[in-house]
Structure 1
Amino acid sequence: MRVKTACLKHFLNGLVDEIAARGDWGEVADYIPELAKVDPAQFGVSVSLADGTQISAGASAERFSIQSISKVFTLACVLGRNGEQIWTRVGREPSGTRFDSILLLEQEKGRPRNPFINAGALVTTDALLAHRAPKDALSEVLAFLRAAAEDDDIHIDPAVAESEARTGFRNVALANYLKSYDNLHNPPELTLGTYFHQCAIEMTVEQLARAGRVIAQLPDAPQILSPEKARRLNALMMTCGHYDGSGDFAFRVGLPGKSGVGGGILVIAPGRASIAVWSPGLNLYGNSLMGTYAAERIARFTGWSVFG
């Protein structure tokens, strides 16, 4: 379905007003001290279209911690560097459990269900670290994001990284459990430090929507991700991108998406658009409450869906 730019701009501006009027913001991720300081009553949205147009509304220039959205781009780097080898260490199935759950990891002998739950993301980060320093692995993720967004002003927030390292005890437990099954090849502290810094990358929705063009395979996107790898990322985002809320997101939105506890969601309409929304307050699944609502409203307005 082709969407007129002027109509979409009018709709997004109205959506900002509608969400502000609702006043139902959810709760910020207060278990990460730096994120606990963020005002939940904020919303920004940006849409990059196939014709090269970008339309934004609300707090679209506000920087936020992308958190688990970074897992998509780290996985893209690992697939580019190591190919399909990563799938010997991590699965491709929905977990049906919280993003930081250790339950399935114990039952399935240290092989995480998918690369987007925290245990799976630690394995992916560990693979990216192979035979090099953390700063080099992080530089690769940042370089990929900057190239995808065509914007060098994308950085790691050291305060958020430090905050996560100071309070990320569940991730420490997951890393040590993975190590006990020999599914972490680097020292846990190295993998954890890299992972915490990766999650602390900060972006605006405008930058994130532009970066998502490579996954949507839009005509104007930089040619840094093959169609096959983009298809794999989209499939995983659809089935696993919102943890135990993935089925609900797919039902309501009908598009691949990846959330982060910083309140961001990257949504992909393959071949049509890359959409980024941000609102820091979370729902019971740990996904942005108003971001999820906005994604549903945008999908209904545009008619975009992978289901026809």
Structure 2
Amino acid sequence: MDLQAIADDIVRDLSSRLGEGKVADYIPELAKVDPKQLGIAITTVDGKTYRAGDAETAFSVQSISKVFMLTLALGKVGETIWRRVGREPSGSAFNSIVQLEHEHGIPRNPFINAGAIVVTDIVLAGHRPREAIGEFLRFMHFVANDESLYIDEPVARSEQRTGYRNFALANFMRGFDNLEHPVDHVLGVYFHQCALAMNCVQLSHAGLFLANRGTNPLTGFFRCLAAAGATDQRDHADLRPL
């Protein structure tokens, strides 16, 4: 299978339709994104990367960050995380508050906003917000094997100013004692993690350890999940070269 040809064909076939879609505007800063951008990156488990279009243009990863923050939380507390967030489909919108009242402040899963906020609260334990953001960013540098990743501060501030539903969700869960830290601290970290800027190539590299049973073939280090809290291969004995 010629993955490079497939990626090139997709970009070519869709080029005439670029701009037809509508960018997210519920966060004002995201409304400024060029709607005619399209990038594709594919990295296989043997470490080969194929790219096409705007694959090296950075963008705010938003909810993709939830996967990596969950990895950090699992590295910190293990299976006990499921006492505070479920593992079931929600059947409701990603930012819905409806089920929380019926289920006593326990979100259905870690990938809807309410669940991701609880996961962020878990990672925040023992840290000030700025330290937790730093830990998350160092972890992303590690899994992507790229220290150029950064937090897009204008996007984070835009989310902070307009994230009314997330404030509602967080306060509601705080009322059920399912948040252990002040709401503004938790959401400060949450908004910053969502504002992580990466390009398609970097993102395809960051997900390799999930696709390859915990091993990143680009770096030769493994057991990233177990060592998620370390954020530096030198800090954990399990991170050994293959």
Taking structure 2 as the reference length, the TM-score comes to 0.88
2:162 equivalent among 148, 161, 167: 167
1:66 equivalent among 34, 37, 61: 61
Moved more, 99-108 or 176-185: 99-108
What residue number does 2:172 align with?
A: 177
Return 5+ residue gaps in structure 1 as ranges.
230-308
Runs of 4+ displaced beyond 4 Å: none
- Please show how residues 223-242 of structure 1 align to structure 2 within 5 Å: 223-226=222-225
- Please show how residues 178-197 of structure 1 align to structure 2 within 5 Å: 178-197=173-192
The amino acid that maps onto 1:207 is Q
2:113 equivalent among 106, 111, 118: 118
Distance 1:180 1:226, change over 3 A: closer
Percent identity reads: 49
What residue number does 2:149 align with?
A: 154
SS in 1 for 2:115: helix
Cα distance per residue 1:138-173 (max 9 Å; x no partner): 122111111111100001011000000000000000
State the superposition RMSD in angstroms. Answer: 1.6
What residue number does 2:237 align with?
A: none
The amino acid that maps onto 1:215 is L
Return 5+ residue gaps in structure 2 as ranges.
229-242
2:123 equivalent among 128, 138, 143: 128
The amino acid that maps onto 2:23 is V
- Please show how residues 96-107 of structure 1 align to structure 2 within 5 Å: 96-107=91-102
Taking structure 1 as the reference length, the TM-score comes to 0.70
What residue number does 1:289 align with?
A: none
What residue number does 1:254 align with?
A: none
Cα distance per residue 1:253-301 (max 9 Å; x no partner): xxxxxxxxxxxxxxxxxxxxxxxxxxxxxxxxxxxxxxxxxxxxxxxxx
What residue number does 2:232 align with?
A: none
What residue number does 2:16 align with?
A: 21
What residue number does 1:306 align with?
A: none
Q: How many residues align?
A: 223
What residue number does 2:217 align with?
A: 220
| Residues 77 and 140 in structure 1, CA contact (< 8 A), matched pair in contact too | no
1:50 equivalent among 45, 49, 58: 45
Distance 1:138 1:224, change over 3 A: farther
Moved more, 36-45 or 158-167: 36-45
Residues in 1 aligned to 2:225 and 2:189: alpha-carbon distance in whole angstroms: 26
What residue number does 2:90 align with?
A: 95
What residue number does 1:142 align with?
A: 137
| Residues 91 and 114 in structure 1, CA contact (< 8 A), matched pair in contact too | yes
